[in-house]
Amino acid sequence: MMFAGKLAMVTGGGSGIGRAVCRVLAREGARVVAADLNPDAAQQTVDMLINPNNHLAVSMNVVEKASIASAIRTSVEKYSTPPSLVANAAGITRDNFLLQMEENTFMEVLDVNVKGSFLVTQLVAGQLVEHGLKDGAIVNLSSIIGKTGNLGQCNYAASKAAVNGFTKTAARELAKLGIRVNSVLPGFTRTPMTETVPDKVIEKLLKLIPLHRVAEPEEIAEVVAFLLSDKSSYMTGTCVEVTGGLAM
């Protein structure tokens, strides 16, 4: 098993890709801390995992430092060691075309998506260093839209491009401390975040995807798990695209 004896925290672990990541990590032997703004959803995730008592659900708002610190403290108290990290939350969207977008709508998405990755990474990496751990790994959830752009999503695209730059800088700075940092850029994935997208938009998109289907959350989660595991021990600062061939 890839994660026997390992501990991993997954932000946004109460839904979609985050929940699928928790499932894959637990299947591979990890103890999982599912952290979410919605603690009931995080608890539901834990209840679905193999050996639920090995895992922990915590409440966390990734844009509030005190909330992140408290969740990490709870986790360290239970397991006596800090976790590796999947910074999966938050990826909020507030779509509008560039010429119509209000400044606060643009900034809200930047604030949540970018600050959410920064704060959680800073606090978890700080704990890994403080505990003298030399085999930490962090995986950020970005999006292919951060690379290609997308109509009506200049705020989301800018935020995910920022996550890619953040990933590479964190990878450079943390390498000497034994922490690898990578990101995953999914294409369109079937989760609660995308369930309101109209069928006709999806039909158009499918014509552009060589594999001719959208991703299931588990297909993203398997790649996240690989990057978090020792199997990717020579990879850091990499932005891995998982798009069914949409972007090449």
188 binds ligand NAD (CB under 6 A): yes
Cα–Cα dist 109/94, whole Å: 7
141 binds ligand NAD (CB under 6 A): yes
Residues near 112 by Cβ (< 8 Å), separated by ≥ 6? 62, 63, 90, 92, 159
Which part of the chain contacts ligand NAD (CB under 6 A), choosing from 54-62, 69-77, 127-135, 174-182? 54-62
- For the question of residue 79 being annotated catalytic, the response is no
Cβ-proximal residue to ligand NAD, closest one: 91
Least distance to ligand NAD, CB of residue 37, Å:
4
Spell out the long-range contacts of 195-199 with Cβ–Cβ below 8 A and sequence spacing 24 or more: none
Which part of the chain contacts ligand NAD (CB under 6 A), choosing from 16-24, 50-58, 123-131, 223-231? 16-24
**Residue of 3, 36, 121, 167 interacting with ligand NAD (CB under 6 A):** 36
**Residue of 3, 12, 49, 241 interacting with ligand NAD (CB under 6 A):** 12
**Residue of 32, 58, 63, 170 interacting with ligand NAD (CB under 6 A):** 63
Cα–Cα dist 87/63, whole Å: 12
Residues 69-98 that bind ligand NAD (CB under 6 A): 88-91
Cα–Cα dist 119/124, whole Å: 9
Least distance to ligand NAD, CB of residue 234, Å:
25
Cα–Cα dist 147/234, whole Å: 24
**Residue of 43, 121, 127, 143 interacting with ligand NAD (CB under 6 A):** 143
Least distance to ligand NAD, CB of residue 70, Å:
13
Q: Cβ distance 18 to 11 under 8 Å? A: yes
Nearer to ligand NAD, 108 or 133 (CB): 108
Nearer to ligand NAD, 16 or 82 (CB): 16
Cα–Cα dist 189/100, whole Å: 27
Closest CA to 35 of 74, 4, 2: 74
Q: Cβ distance 228 to 25 under 8 Å? A: yes
Nearer to ligand NAD, 116 or 244 (CB): 116
124 binds ligand NAD (CB under 6 A): no
Least distance to ligand NAD, CB of residue 211, Å:
15
Residues that bind ligand NAD (CB under 6 A): 11-12, 14-18, 36-38, 41, 60-63, 88-91, 112, 116, 141, 143, 186, 188-189, 191-194
**Which residues are catalytically annotated?**
156
